[in-house]
């Protein structure tokens, strides 16, 4: 597939993830795009797309109106092209169908493809995207991602900066890190993420949790083993340190002995 002359959804993902140099080489014709015809994961995703969309229709009781609609738009001199997997009938939403490995998570898939989804929502002027995902061959999950203008603005600004390097034929040195963005604030199933790194109370509690977790595990293990020592016909087992009593319902209660 011809990848020069525009920025597409997968390109936006690369740009936001800091993979500028490799993409710049492709867009300036220095290297050819990777041949994906023999890449199993990619071909499985292509072949399973219709099944994925059909599964989505059944599970959500929604009808797909169009498939593989292409949208084009130019913004700040940058040409964009996006091919949507599907558009839903009687809504202002789209569907993106993905196939990933069995142990991946829906949250990670949405996070990785966020730039692509938001670019497509901007191109098509839609309200939201359903991310419909097959995990291996035994699990399907789906999430609804709302259009988020602040995040879209960051994506478009990054694409504009990248395209300037393409037009000037100037190497994009120093663009090898993910771009800071309000991605955590994009609602996924009406829920957002929050970075609590600067929350002192959260940090204090997190440190306590990490510090005392081994002791808590040891405590629970000792409690379980102590109760296992009590025979079925014993109503009480005790020592100088503690007592284990069986109540009328048969439950075992552990108490420390007074000194």
pLDDT digits (tens, 9 = 90+) for 13-58: 999 999 999 999 999 999 988 887 888 888 888 888 999 999 999 9
Residue with tokens 């977790």: 213
pLDDT score of 186:
96
| Mean pLDDT value of segment 134-152 | 96
SS3 for 26? helix
pLDDT score of 254:
94
Confidence of residue 258 (pLDDT cuts 50, 70, 90): confident
Scanning the chain, the segments in alpha helix (DSSP H) are: 9-16, 20-27, 40-47, 49-60, 106-112, 114-124, 149-168, 200-229
**pLDDT tens digits, residue range 104-140?**
999 999 999 999 999 999 999 999 999 999 999 999 9
Q: Calculate the alpha carbon distances from 11 to 63, 94, 114, 155, 159 in Å.
A: 29, 19, 12, 11, 9
Helix 114-124 to helix 9-16 angle (10° resolution) is 130
Tokens at residue 101, please? Answer: 């490995």
Dihedral of alpha carbons 75, 78, 79, 81, sign: negative
Tokens at residue 35, please? Answer: 């041949």
pLDDT score of 187:
96
Helix 20-27 to helix 9-16 angle (10° resolution) is 140
What is the reported pTM?
Answer: 0.84
**pLDDT tens digits, residue range 183-239?**
999 999 999 999 999 999 999 999 999 999 999 999 999 999 999 999 999 999 999
Q: Which domains does the chain have, with CATH numbers?
A: 9-185 (3.90.320.10), 200-256 (no CATH)
Confidence of residue 97 (pLDDT cuts 50, 70, 90): very high
């Amino acid at each position: 597939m011809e990848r020069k002359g525009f920025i597409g959804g997968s390109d936006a993902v690369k740009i936001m993830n800091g993979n500028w140099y490799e993409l710049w080489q492709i867009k300036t014709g220095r290297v050819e795009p990777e041949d994906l015809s023999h890449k199993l994961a990619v071909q499985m995703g292509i072949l399973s797309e219709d099944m994925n969309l059909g599964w989505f229709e059944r599970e959500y009781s929604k009808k797909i109106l169009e498939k593989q609609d292409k949208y084009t738009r130019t913004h700040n001199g940058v040409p964009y092209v996006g091919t949507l997997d599907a558009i839903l009938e009687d809504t202002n939403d789209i569907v993106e169908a993905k196939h990933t490995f069995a142990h991946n998570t829906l949250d990670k898939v949405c996070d990785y493809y966020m730039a692509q989804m938001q670019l497509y929502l901007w191109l098509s002027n839609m309200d939201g995207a359903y991310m419909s995902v097959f995990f291996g061959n035994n699990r399907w999950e789906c999430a609804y991602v709302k259009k988020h203008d602040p995040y879209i603005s960051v994506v478009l600004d990054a694409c504009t900066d990248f395209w300037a390097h393409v037009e000037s034929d100037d190497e994009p040195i120093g663009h090898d890190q993910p771009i800071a963005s309000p991605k955590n604030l994009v609602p996924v199933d009406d829920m957002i993420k929050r970075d609590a790194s600067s929350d002192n109370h959260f940090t204090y509690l997190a440190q306590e949790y990490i510090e005392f977790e081994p002791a808590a595990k040891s405590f629970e293990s000792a409690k379980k083993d102590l109760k296992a020592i009590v025979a079925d016909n014993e109503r009480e087992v005790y020592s100088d340190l503690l007592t284990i009593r069986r109540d009328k319902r048969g439950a075992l209660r552990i108490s420390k002995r007074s000194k």
